Every structure is written in structure tokens, then in C-alpha cells.
Structure 1
Amino acid sequence: MKSMQVKGLAIGMWQQVVNHSKSTGRKAIWGIGAVLTLGMVSCDTTDDNVGPNFIHTSDFNKGNENWEAGLTDFSTPQDSIMEFSSKITALPTDSLKKGFMLTSHNRSDDAFMYLKRKLTGLAPNQTYDITFEVELASKYPENGVGVGGSPGGAVYLKAGASGIEPQKVKDSTNAQHWTLNWDKGNQSSGGKNAIVLGTVGIEGETYKYQIIKRTNQSKAFSAKTNDKGELWLLVGTDSGFEGITTLYYTKVKAVLLKATL
């Protein structure tokens, strides 16, 4: 309802600008700019049918928001010992709020634990510049000591997008290894389809959950939709820590702007 009210206000202002433009000249240009700004605000939505420029926000306090969890980058004989699970559950920081919990035991020293979601209704075969903001609860100190690496500093948070669905598949060169069909890079390095937002490390030495935010606001990232106007979003952790990692995602925000040449 709020979005409809904003759109209605924008239309009314547009009519006033048009009617007034004959007598105000350059002042009308400012009015048009204000209307266009309101138009961008009205695109702030969690719906799929969101148009060419928009902000998508998923709030896991409301449920899974159509995100699916997965785990990859380990050998097929390790299937039964990775201890992977996921669910919407109460946050360790606030029992009255919920998050999307993911947990696994990194037996492979390279496990990638992720969430994925499809957006629809976008412009077909269109490149978008994307800024991610991911909020989650972590308890792992950045400089903590662990097998293989720090439980905070060696667990890298990534976000990405592609017109192709990210899927767990067997490596084309090794049938006994699970991998992702995207180029997400490896651990501290990003790839064509994903960018590193930082680590899940927190300040200090105490293992106590707190909410952290990571973004690529200062790093450029772009992705192209498929011919149906679909785009898959992904967030996940590429781990070098050989132990149990349990994280609680609370929000994922993606700002998509139509790229111009």
C-alpha cells in the first residue's frame, strides 16, 4: 500500500510539473528530477516483479523468503560426515527474532556453504551493476586460532549473481568431488560470478554471537540476466577453517542498477 501511495504522489507531482512547466521553464526540470527520484523509491520492494532498477531485500525473520541452502566443495565419500544442516530458527543474539541458520563441519578444508534465490521479471539479457549488503550473526574472532586457519579470518563471505542457477555438481575432472557450476573463486579470491565481501570474523577474542554486516559498496560487480529476465542471487562462505561453522543470516539486500555502456 505504501508503494502505491508513493507512486500516486509521483503521478500527481508529474501532472503539476507538466502544467506548471509552461510558465516556470528551468524550474520544471528540477520538478521532473524529484518525480524520478520518487519513482526509484517506489521500486524498493521484496517482490519478484521489480523492473529494471530496484532494491531487493530478504528478511529471514519472516521466513526463508524463497532462498534454498546448499553445501559443496568436498569429496563424495565425505557426504555423510560434513554435518550440514539449515533451518529458520531463533537468533542467538535475540530469541524473539529469527534467521536462516547454516552449519557444517569443514572436513575438506574448502567447504562452501551457501544460500541461493531466483529473481524474475527483469529485463532479458541485461547486465546489472549490483551492490550487496549481507547481515548475519557470527561468533568467530577474526584472529582466532583454528585447524587450517582462523574460524573467523579464514572463512570468507561471498555474494554473487548469474542468469544460470547455481548448482552442486560433480567436478568434470574428478567424479568424486562436489563443486559449484559457477566461477565463485576459491576462498579469499572471488570469481566471475561472485565477489568477496570480507570474512565472518568479529573483533576481540570472545566467542559470542553478534550481528555483522558486509558489503561490496566499494567494489564493482555486475551480472547478466538470462533470456527470460531471470537472475539468481547467491550468498555463502568459502571456508579454510577445518571445524564447525554455524552462522545465522538475518538479511540480504541487493541493489540492481541497469548497466550503461
Structure 2
Amino acid sequence: MQIAVVAQVIEINYDFQRGNLGWTADFADYPPNIGTGYELDAGIRFMPRKLTRMPRRGFYLQGHNRSADLFMFLKRRLAVEDGIVAGRNYRIEYVITLASNAASGCVGIGGAPGESVYLKAGASSIEPLAVLQSNGYLRMNVDKGNQSQSGTAASVAGNIANGIPCEQASPYYPFALIERFHQHTTNVTANANGELWLLVGTDSGFEGLTRLYYQSIRVKLIPV
């Protein structure tokens, strides 16, 4: 992890080759009491060797979207020691590099495995949590929008289609690296303790299995 603070602009590069670097994974928009049908999995794993010449690790997330609305996300707390100033407003920009095996132009149940899985990024002054509701579903306590719609805590940064045409990817559907540049659509104010939480995830309309390796997340926080 590299941190640079220039004129109160904070730039941080999280390269998951070095471990989780304070990021944690979680899942929302599903009922947790249904057993293992969602095939949820997350952690630091070696990425597919065909993507890299040398063994390289990334932050792996996996889920089977049986609820038609699964949200798989990473979050990280930033605080005073990272250069955050209490009460200050920040514009937040991301460069997200990840590996996806969702080919472009494929047809899937409920939606495309690439174009209907929306990558989102943003931030919040409170910790993003998956909270159990009275109907038995876990829902986010921050506004991340719904599928193709952005929210104040996470806005759409693209999708996970990897650029390989579906007919060329079949039948093996290899992973390919993709890079998404994103400026969060809502400025975020650090809380009174000088904290804010980064939030990156996927909001799925594809009712199948999604597997992703996040290689790195670069973030810039610009006072406004």
C-alpha cells in the first residue's frame, strides 16, 4: 500500500498482492438462512496464472445470485492517520483493476453475466453494513442504489464484461483483466471522528455464479 498526501489530496494504491490491506468482504441482498445455495466465498487468493507471468494474489469474491439482487462488496475504513480531516468534504475518484470471466455479449438468466453485473464504487461517513431485516434478508445500511441505479454511498462504475466476445470465450470463459475509472457522483463528508469508509462492489441482475479477482484499487480523495 502506498499513500501520498499532497496539498490535502490523498492518493492511496491498494495492491492486493500484499494482502487484504485492511479491506474486508461481505454480502447483502440475500436471505442468510437458506444454507449454501449462494456459494458465497471471499479472501486473498492466487489469480489465474494465465493473467500474470509470476504468481500474483488478488482479493477474490464469489456468489451465486439466487435472490436476483446479490451485492458483493469490499470496504475499508480511512481515518486521521490516513490524512482524513473531520468534517471535510471529499470528491472520490477510483481506478479499479479486476479479473472477470464474464464475456461480453452473452445471454444469461435474468440478465447478462457481464453487462448486468454492475460495478459500483463510492464512500460513506458510516461503516457500510449488511443488516438483517424483518423479512429475513440482509440489506445495506447505506444507499448503494439498486443494480443499474446509483446511490449516495456507491455509484455505477461500469460492469464486469471483460471484452472477450461471447462466441470466442465459449466454452472455457477465461478470465481477463479489466480496468474501470470512476468518479463517485456524490461528495462524501468525513464524520466527526475523521473517518470515512470506502466501498467497492458489484450489484447483480444476473441470476448465476459471479467470480471476480480484484487486483488493485487506487483511490484519490480531493477536498472540495
TM-score (norm 1): 0.77
1:253 is matched by which residue type in structure 2? R
1:134 aligns with 2:93: no
Q: 2:151 aligns with which of 181, 191, 196?
A: 191
Query: Aligned-pair RMSD on alpha carbons?
Result: 1.9
Give a deviation string over 1:36-58, Cα, whole Å, max 9, x none: xxxxxxxx9438x9983210111
What does 1:145-184 correspond to in 2, within 5 Å? Answer: 145-171=107-133, 174-184=134-144
2:223 maps to 258
How many aligned positions are there? Answer: 212
Query: In the aligned structure 2, how far is the partner of 1:70 from the partner of 1:156?
Result: 16
Q: 1:100 aligns with which of 43, 59, 66?
A: 59
Q: Gaps spanning 5+ residues in structure 2: where?
A: none
CA contact (8 A) 1:78 1:107 kept: no
Q: 2:39 aligns with which of 83, 88, 98?
A: 83
Query: In the aligned structure 1, how far is the partner of 2:145 from the partner of 2:177?
Result: 26
Q: Offset at 1:200?
A: 0.2
Q: Gaps spanning 5+ residues in structure 1: where?
A: 1-43
1:117 is matched by which residue type in structure 2? R
1:78 is matched by which residue type in structure 2? I
1:72 aligns with 2:28: yes
Structure 1 or 2, whichever has the larger Rg, is 1
Q: Offset at 1:256?
A: 0.6
Q: Offset at 1:216?
A: 1.6
Q: Secondary structure in 1 aligned to 2:135? A: strand
CA contact (8 A) 2:153 2:199 kept: no
Compare the two structures and name the one with the higher helix fraction: 1
1:77 is matched by which residue type in structure 2? N
1:238 maps to 203
Q: Secondary structure in 2 aligned to 1:61? A: helix
Query: In the aligned structure 1, how far is the partner of 2:65 from the partner of 2:7?
Result: 39
- Specify whether residues 52 and 228 from structure 1 end up closer, same or farther in structure 2 by C-alpha distance, changes over 3 A only: farther
Moved over 6 A (4+): none
1:247 aligns with 2:212: yes
1:230 is matched by which residue type in structure 2? E
1:216 is matched by which residue type in structure 2? H
CA contact (8 A) 2:73 2:200 kept: yes
Give a deviation string over 1:71-111, Cα, whole Å, max 9, x none: 11012433532111111111112261110000111110100
Between the aligned residues of both structures, percent identity stands at 40
Q: Which of 1 and 2 has higher RCO (CA within 8 Å, sep 6+)?
A: 2
What does 1:11-26 correspond to in 2, within 5 Å? Answer: none
2:189 is matched by which residue type in structure 1? K
1:70 is matched by which residue type in structure 2? D
Q: Secondary structure in 2 aligned to 1:46? A: strand
Compare the two structures and name the one with the higher strand fraction: 2
1:56 maps to 12
Q: Secondary structure in 1 aligned to 2:18? A: coil
1:215 maps to 181
CA contact (8 A) 1:131 1:221 kept: no
- Specify whether residues 91 and 76 from structure 1 end up closer, same or farther in structure 2 by C-alpha distance, changes over 3 A only: closer
